[in-house]
Structure 1
Amino acid sequence: MSRYRRTQGSTFFFTVVLADRSSTLLADHVDRLRRIYQTVQQRRPFETVAICILPDHLHAIWSLPKNDSDFSSRWNLIKGGFSRGLEAQERSASKSLKREKGIWQRRYWEHAIRDDADLERHVDYIHFNPVKHGLVTRVRDWSLSSFHRYVDQGTLPVDWGGDMRDIAGQFGE
């Protein structure tokens, strides 16, 4: 039996990335990101199934209302709202012409979740991502993650993912 359950409507996995991969803008301004995210979520409802905010990118799984698959306008509002009021970054002529601040990569990765097993794999990927990137050695040590909600709900144990200090060798991409 699956640990995760999809809700009504379409469910999607996203990776949204800053233009400057060495930036820590998302972690540095996480309260701003949360505020904008919640505002968009109130105006254009969606359920955040899982999320993890890292310094230079974020991963999220959204479940949209039935008969609604318009995630692009939601991301546009989140990215634009976050960028407004922040100092413009170094940008190309094309981004300047389009009045972009150069904060975000223009595109993002999206994947339609196919079934419960696919959902489980993507939730696990999201929660383990801070460990994968070497930001922490245990999933529970990264505060900007829905992992803690899953623990509070009893869906995952607090020690899920283990401790990388207990594993010898190098792994990853």
Structure 2
Amino acid sequence: MPNYRRNFVAGGCYFFTVNLLERQRTLLTDHIDLLRDAVRRVKRLYSFHIDAWVVLPDHMHMVLTLPPDTDDFPVRLRLMKLLFAKQRIAAHRTSIGHAP
């Protein structure tokens, strides 16, 4: 596993790239509504400002700025990924359940 050096700065501006494990999939753009909802829900729980956000089929780039009183960007990213995955699983189960 890589040895990343992370710089935690309260109120800092951070750039992230998040990739799908299976890079040939197009889940992010196929389910952009679920991704937007996941980010919106996290933003309500843990404040941050999106300075820039690019979503491609297999990965996304995000520049976000945290409030001046926190440097906890990992919780925000972790929850975005978790909520998107859970919503995707739920949507998949629902679509299977409604198949003819």
Sort the TM-score into its range (normalised by shorter chain): 0.7 to 0.9
In percent, how many aligned pairs have the same letter?
Answer: 39
Matched with 1:37 is 39
Q: Which amino acid aligns with 2:45?
A: R
Paired residue secondary structure (1:84): helix
Matches within 5 A, 1:53-64: 53-64=55-66
Q: Distance in 2 between matches of 1:44 and 1:13?
A: 17
Q: Which is bigger in relative contact order (C-alpha 8 A, separation at least 6)? A: 2
Q: Measured at CA, do residues 67 and 85 of structure 1 come closer, stay the same or move farther in structure 2, by a change above 3 Å?
A: closer
Q: Distance in 1 between matches of 2:73 and 2:86?
A: 20
Q: Is it true that 1:83 corresponds to 2:71 in the alignment?
A: no
Q: Which amino acid aligns with 1:10?
A: G
Matched with 2:22 is 20
Count of aligned pairs: 80
Q: Name the Cα RMSD after superposition.
A: 1.3
Q: Distance in 1 between matches of 2:24 and 2:75?
A: 27
- State the 1:42 CA deviation: 1.0
Report runs of 4+ in structure 1 exceeding 3 Å deviation. none
Point out the structure with the larger strand share.
2
Q: Distance in 1 between matches of 2:59 and 2:41?
A: 20
Point out the structure with the larger helix share.
2
Q: Which amino acid aligns with 1:44?
A: Y
Q: Distance in 2 between matches of 1:82 and 1:74?
A: 12
Q: Distance in 1 between matches of 2:44 and 2:69?
A: 18
Question: TM-score when scaled to structure 1?
Answer: 0.45
Question: TM-score when scaled to structure 2?
Answer: 0.76
Paired residue secondary structure (1:86): helix
Q: Does the 8 Å CA contact 2:34/2:88 hold for their aligned counterparts?
A: no
Q: Distance in 1 between matches of 2:49 and 2:87?
A: 27
Q: Distance in 1 between matches of 2:26 and 2:18?
A: 14
Paired residue secondary structure (1:16): strand
- State the 1:67 CA deviation: 2.9
Question: Which structure would you say has the larger Rg?
Answer: 1
